[in-house]
Structure 1
Amino acid sequence: MQAITVPDSATSAAALEVVTAYQSPAMVNHSLRAYLWAAARGAADGIPFDPELLYVAALFHDMGLVPAFDSHTVAFEEAGGHVAQVFAAGAGWGAQRRGRLAEVIVRHMWPQVDAAADPEGHLLSRATATEITGKDADDYPADFRAEVLERYPRLDLGERFLACFEAQAARKPTSSAATAMRSGLAARMAGNPLDAPA
């Protein structure tokens, strides 16, 4: 896979600064890895995508799990989409681009996203599945996987993420997080090859 670079823009830098201020190191690393898996998949599959849009969406995709932004009325991905839109407005993004950002974040929890209709949503959905359950992890070359994991260690992601989803499921039984928990997320996470000893 070709080298993946982080978008060099003031908005990208500000997004990382904001996310780092609110999320644990494990969750920040998770979001950064999600971008790298997504961008690598796009490059490998020949899917054109907007790197800045994908990067900011990857950084904000779990902001709805943060206590400061957790909503008791909507699913965490919807809450995260709202937070991202507010951030993007401050960054000067127009209404249409802000809307696309929220769509990508909401759709990362969809079982499937059509790459032709929403390339960034498709890539982020696949990347987060790789991150959390290891789905399609073997599609990435071993040296690329090792480099990403060395640069952004997983730390205590599994424990933190599962606790967040359990809490979401308990408070919002009709949410996507609750559906994931009922479908055996904990067991799938336990078998994630990305958490296997090197």
Structure 2
Amino acid sequence: MTTSIADIKIPDSKLAVEAAELLREHGDDLLWNHSNRVFLFASLQGNLQQTKYDPELLYISSLFHDLGLTPAFRSPDKRFEVDGANAARDFLRSRGVPEESVRLVWDAVALHTSIGIVEYKEAEAALMNFGVGYDVVGKNFELIPDDVRRQIVEAFPRNQFKQNILNAFLEGFKHKPETTYGTINADICELLLPGYQRPNFCHHVLHSKWEE
């Protein structure tokens, strides 16, 4: 694997390499390339903002952020983000990583789709959210120059990412669509899951068991 792309060094500590191997074992090329692009875009933003962050923790967070979609780590009843966060926590604790770092990575992974919240968390969580938004929906697209973006995509190709990532999301939680309630993932169920009807919060309020 190339160790430096767009002047960003990919962490190669023992911990980082083992995390990468875990994603390689249980993920596919789609998640591998996406997760690495997320890290690189996040790092570029951090450097641009002159934000202090831990590259190793940002990298591990990026590698785990979609691992909850995979068969090995998806649960029957939790949000996929929580599944990935729990997997990251187990991985880090098993290697003696300090609890403060474990908590930081857990938050970064669990909250990465919580728009309006995660960007106010610690640098690693906020930056990873930037990387996810940049890669998935092109948010703040102009902040990274074309030539830099091309270097990253050449190293970690998109390969029809727009179409394939939606199907990967659905595959990860189609057996538990109720976990998408109140999240952007409900959009995916509504688009791709036959027979799915999005729950309505106002309906729940107006038809609760309270008498008034």
Tell me the TM-score normalized by structure 1.
Answer: 0.84
Verify the 8 A CA contact 1:69 1:80 in the aligned structure 2: yes
Shift of 1:169: 5.5
Counterpart position of 1:53? 57
Aligned with 2:116 (options 112, 128, 135): 112
**Secondary structure, in 3 states, of the residue corresponding to 1:173?**
helix
Distance of 1:23 and 1:114 partners within structure 2: 24
Q: Secondary structure at the match of 1:49?
A: coil
Q: CA–CA distance in 2 between the matches of 1:17 and 1:166? A: 24
Alignment of 1:74-89 (within 5 A): 74-89=78-93
* 2:57 maps to amino acid: L
The 8 Å contact of residues 93 and 102 in structure 2, kept in 1 or not, is answered as: yes
Whole-Å separation in 2 of the counterparts to 1:67 and 1:177: 21
Partner of 2:38: 34
Are 1:178 and 2:185 matched, yes or no? yes
Q: CA deviation at 1:87?
A: 1.0
**Corresponding residue to 1:142 among 142, 146, 156:** 146
Judged with a 3 Å threshold, the aligned counterparts in structure 2 of structure 1 residues 180 and 92 are, in CA distance, closer, same or farther, namely: farther
Please state how far the C-alpha of 1:141 moved relative to its aligned partner: 0.7
2:77 equivalent to 1:70: no
CA change 1:67–1:158 in 2 (3 A) is farther
Aligned to 1:91: 95
CA offsets 1:13-58 (integer angstroms, 9 cap, x no match): 1111111111111210100000000000000012211111100000
The one-character-per-residue Cα deviations of 1:86-113 (angstroms, maximum 9, x if unpaired) are 1112222122221211111012111134
**Residue identity in the other structure for 1:47:** T
Structure 2 CA distance for aligned equivalents of residues 12 and 171 of structure 1: 31
Q: Which of the two has higher C-alpha Rg?
A: 2
Kept in 2, the 8 Å contact 1:33–1:148? The answer is: yes
Corresponding residue for 2:26? 22
Q: Alpha carbons of 1:127 and 1:184: their partners in 2 closer, same or farther (altered >3 Å)?
A: farther
In structure 1, the residue matched to 2:198 is none
CA distance in 1, matches of 2:21, 2:175: 31
Where does structure 1 lack aligned partners over 5 or more consecutive residues? 186-198
Q: Which amino acid in structure 2 is aligned with residue 84 of structure 1?
A: A
> What is the CA-CA distance between 1:166 and the residue it aligns to?
2.9
Instruction: Return 66-75 or 28-37, whichever deviates more.
Output: 66-75
Q: Which residue is equivalent to 1:191?
A: none
1:78 and 1:114 map into 2 onto residues whose CA distance is 14
- Which of structure 1's runs of 4+ aligned residues deviate more than 6 A? 182-185
Find the counterpart in structure 1 of residue 125 from structure 2: 121
Q: CA RMSD in A?
A: 2.2
- Identical counterparts, % of pairs: 27
The whole-number CA distance in structure 2 between the counterparts of 1:133 and 1:182 is 17
Q: Which moved more, 1:161-170 or 1:99-108?
A: 161-170
- Structure that is richer in helix per residue: 1
